[in-house]
Amino acid sequence: MRRTFYQFLLTHRGGPKEDPRAVFAEAAFLDHEFPKTETGFDVLSRYLEERADPDMLSRVFDELWEEYRESD
């Protein structure tokens, strides 16, 4: 069974504060409304566009999404 994007994202938590991926992962962890069960790009991308959290940059999401796709 494929892990969710959120489960993948948690692997980046706890990294250096200068690492945009770690910052993104921490922001998603603290966001109680983050779509934790999603595996699809469209729902996640739409959520991030509407949420506009300054710690969840779209370019970082795009990088993380590519890594996520290649990981499973």
Amino acid occupying residue 63: E
Cα dihedral sign for 63, 49, 5, 19? positive
Burial of 67 from C-beta contacts in 10 A (0-12 / 13-18 / 19+): middle
Predicted local confidence at residue 41, as pLDDT: 96
3-33 pLDDT, tens per residue?
999 999 999 999 999 999 999 999 999 999 9
Query: Where do the domains of the chain lie, and which CATH numbers do they carry?
Result: 5-71 (1.10.150.260)
Binned at pLDDT 50, 70 and 90, residue 51 comes out as confident
The larger pLDDT score, comparing residue 1 to residue 13, is at 13
Burial of 57 from C-beta contacts in 10 A (0-12 / 13-18 / 19+): middle
